[in-house]
A and B are shown apart, each in its own frame.
Chain A
Amino acid sequence: DGGITQSPKYLFRKEGQNVTLSCEQNLNHDAMYWYRQDPGQGLRLIYYSQIVNDFQKGDIAEGYSVSREKKESFPLTVTSAQKNPTAFYLCASSPGGRGPRLTEAFFGQGTRLTVV
């Protein structure tokens, strides 16, 4: 079935460590996104990519890094520079990279990261 797969579902990290969250899609979508969700809050955009080998910072990019070497994959690294990394992370994709409007976007099941 087509969709977006995030792994792992739960992740624990020690303070000072980097950790990478995986996001893979088989929808043939050009654009991919990473959002962060904190309890009782909406979603905030971390990074997004409209096309392979290109990505842009979102609203809260500090302490995070991404790569887009393949169309299907958009991994997110949470670095030790991120002061408050404990959150629920959501990956999404949409078909149009640079079109006039975004007509649909689909989400993965999320990764819950906890710093211990």
Chain B
Amino acid sequence: GNSVTQMEGPVTLSEEAFLTINCTYTATGYPSLFWYVQYPGEGLQLLLKATKADDKGSNKGFEATYRKETTSFHLEKGSVQVSDSAVYFCALGTGGGNKLTFGTGTQLKVEL
């Protein structure tokens, strides 16, 4: 079956530090890959996506590249801000049932 594995949190960084949150997946076929962000008490917001191998998704300074050979979709940002503090979810979507499968989420805390 499909699965997504994310690095354990919380991840604590100082403002302006470089961020990497690792995400690897197992899936049949050719899934689409997503990163969602969740702020306290809120729903999930789509941060970025990639629908085929070697695609790079980007938004608000965040980037992730769909790596089929390593089945990975790591999230990166060159300089984090306090406002980036949130929980980040990696997810994959496949056809047939068109279901999203989520990782367990990684909490990011950015301090001044």
Contacts and interface: CB of A to CB of B under 8 A. Distances in A.
B89 A101 contact: no
Interface residues of B, number: 27
Contacts of B105: 41-42
Interface string A69-107: 000000000000000000000101010111111111111
* Interface size grouping (class) on chain A: 20 to 34
Contacts, number: 81
B102 interface: yes
B95 A110 contact: no
B99 A107 contact: no
Contacts of B103: 42
B73 to A, nearest CB: 14
A64 interface: no
Nearest to A91: B43
B45 interface: yes
Interface in A41-63: 41-43, 45, 48, 50, 56, 58
B42 interface: yes
A102 to B, nearest CB: 3
Interface in B82-112: 89, 93-100, 102-105
Nearest to A6: B43
A103 B45 CA distance: 15
A102 B102 contact: no
B93 A94 contact: yes
Interface in B33-53: 34, 36, 41-46, 49, 51
B32 A33 contact: no
A99 B102 contact: no
Given A101-B30, A106-B46, A48 B99 contact: yes
A92 B89 CA distance: 15
Nearest 8 pairs between A and B by C-beta? A102-B93, A42-B104, A100-B95, A107-B44, A107-B43, A109-B43, A43-B102, A102-B98
